[in-house]
Chain A
Amino acid sequence: MSAQTVLFDLPGPRARRRQRIGTVIGVLLILGLVGLALWRLGANGQLDPNRWAILFDPAAGVPQALWEALLNTLAVAAVGMVAATVLGALLAVGRLSDHAWVRAPVTLVIEFFRAVPLLVLILFCLLFLPTVGVSMTAFRALALGLTLYNMAVLAEIFRAGILSVDRGQREAAFALGMRKSQVMTLVLLPQAVRRMLPVLVAQLVVLLKDSSLGFIVGYVELLRQARSLVEFFNFQFGNIYTFQLYTAAALIYIIVNVLLSQLARWVESRTRRDTRSAAGKGELPAEVQMDGGGGMVAEPGGR
């Protein structure tokens, strides 16, 4: 049901006129604000094409530096994604285990890592682990922090997916004489993966966004690179490229994330088509994804 069509009547001539007037005023207002911002920028000389040209000037080394930083960002996110997915799947199976001595500690681990802020986890890896003899770099700390946090979140997603498979499937598989591992790998997982794919991809987008925390712990990802470029140019030419470089870094982040989100949406539309015949009820809760997100409130699939 789309709210758009239910919440209001189709506008009549007078309402349409009112709307049109409102639209014009609103557009003028927004244009005014944008104009004001542009005017301020122009007054400060920020719109000077020479200032923006440096972003595309290979001689100044800026495109290379930003490209390298983007690769660094993607590298740490990729390591985190793979490790977190594998560990998350293992933890999910552990949490669904029949044996309390497996279930209890795994549950504790999941709940703990979900409750701690990601930045605190990363700092823990960076500051504490070296004191017990684990050598740490900013890259490792960031990757480890991302992995630990997201494996807990992903474990919950996997678990919700497995629990959302119709109960009859599992019972039928046991009735056929399958072993527990067979039921899981042959019957439950193939159906569960399909259902949780959209949420899974969404969480991986969140992970990519979170890699920007590298800025705070000194890993040379996009933001940190932009900052050091700014410092370098400020030293040489004074404060003239700051705004341009920050804008470039932010735009790159937004573009990459929008692309990944589109991928998630595409995957969702595909899986929806595929599962049209599957048990209709109990769609995965389209939980609102927010980085550092996932709470301890709604136990997904806890019925």
Chain B
Amino acid sequence: MDFLSDNIDLLWGAFLTTLSLAVVSGLCALVLGTVLAGMRVSPVPPLRGLATFYVEVFRNTPLTVVFFFLVFGIVQIDLQFPSRFAAAVAALSLYTAAFVCEALRSGINAVPPGQAEAARALGLDFGQTLRTIVLPQAFRTVVPPLGNVWIALAKNTSIAAGFAVADLTAALQRLSNANADRLLLVFAAIVAGYLAITLPSAWAIRVIEKRVAIIR
């Protein structure tokens, strides 16, 4: 077990990088995705068009390509992210926001129409209807799909390793060069790192779902 004790600092640092990458991009994607979902159901056609365009483009672009553009592409128009970590957060957020938007939109569609009709009958405008009536109910119904998006995001952070972010997968590549004789152990440690994020998340999401689910 001297392997683990020798590299515990490296592994712990990599784990924290992966975790913070996932959490920060998850929050950004949640905000951006909610705004996009609001745009997709809004009464203003250009906003709808813009959000639809955004979702279509990002759902059909491989995450690697998004990374690629933010890391190598925008340098060509004199833009640069302060760090590779920031670039990775931007790529993951932009990509994941499209999926958050789709999940939320399905939730909005699942809210019974009577709710929105009653809100309108009370004189609430679109923003008030969405904010106070529809979105709170939509969020409660989309806990499982949003959870899936979150877990997929946690796994997708591994792609950042290909773009010089020192996350778990990058640690895997480094350790596997140094410990060619104990590859299996290296892989087990890295996989355990990812499971340490995804398994508790899956459990937590199930608990949240049970607590907030709307029984209709």
Contacts from A to B (Cβ < 8 Å): 1-4, 6-9, 11, 15, 19, 22-23, 26-27, 30, 37, 40-41, 44, 46, 115-120, 123-124, 127-128, 131, 205, 209-213, 215-216, 223, 227, 242-243, 246-247, 249-250, 253-254, 257-258, 261, 286-288, 290-298
Contacts and interface: CB of A to CB of B under 8 A. Distances in A.
Chain B interface size range: 35 or more
A296 B149 contact: no
A27 B46 contact: yes
Given A8-B120, A118-B155, A120-B190, 18 more contacts: A8-B126, A26-B50, A117-B156, A119-B159, A120-B194, A127-B183, A131-B180, A213-B64, A215-B162, A216-B159, A227-B72, A242-B76, A253-B60, A288-B99, A292-B63, A295-B148, A296-B202, A297-B151
Interface stretch (B6-14, B82-90, B103-111): B103-111
Most A C-beta atoms less than 10 A away, residue of B61, B147, B155: B155
What does DSSP make chain A's interface, helix, strand, loop or mixed?
A: helix
Contacts of B41: 3-4, 7
What does DSSP make chain B's interface, helix, strand, loop or mixed?
A: helix
A115 B126 contact: no
Nearest to B159: A119
A293 B152 contact: yes
B147 A295 contact: yes
A179 B177 CA distance: 53
Interface in B64-116: 64-65, 68-69, 72-73, 76-78, 96, 99, 102-103, 105-106, 108-109, 111-113, 116
B34 interface: no
B165 interface: no
B77 A46 contact: yes
Given A3-B108, A120-B172, A288-B102, A298 B68 contact: no
Interface in B148-204: 148-153, 155-159, 161-162, 169, 172-173, 176, 180, 183-184, 187, 190-191, 194-195, 198-199, 202
A258 B53 CA distance: 12
A123 B158 CA distance: 11
A215 B90 CA distance: 20
Interface of B: 41-48, 50, 56-57, 59-65, 68-69, 72-73, 76-78, 96, 99, 102-103, 105-106, 108-109, 111-113, 116-117, 120, 125-126, 129-130, 134, 144-145, 147-153, 155-159, 161-162, 169, 172-173, 176, 180, 183-184, 187, 190-191, 194-195, 198-199, 202, 205-206, 209
B116 A6 contact: yes
Contacts of B44: 19, 22-23, 26
B61 A116 contact: no
Contacts of B150: 295
A43 B152 CA distance: 39
A124 B130 contact: no
Nearest to B72: A246
27 contacts: A1-B109, A3-B134, A7-B126, A8-B126, A9-B120, A11-B43, A19-B43, A22-B44, A23-B45, A26-B47, A115-B198, A116-B191, A117-B157, A123-B173, A127-B176, A128-B184, A212-B63, A216-B64, A243-B76, A258-B56, A261-B60, A288-B103, A291-B63, A292-B158, A295-B147, A296-B199, A297-B148
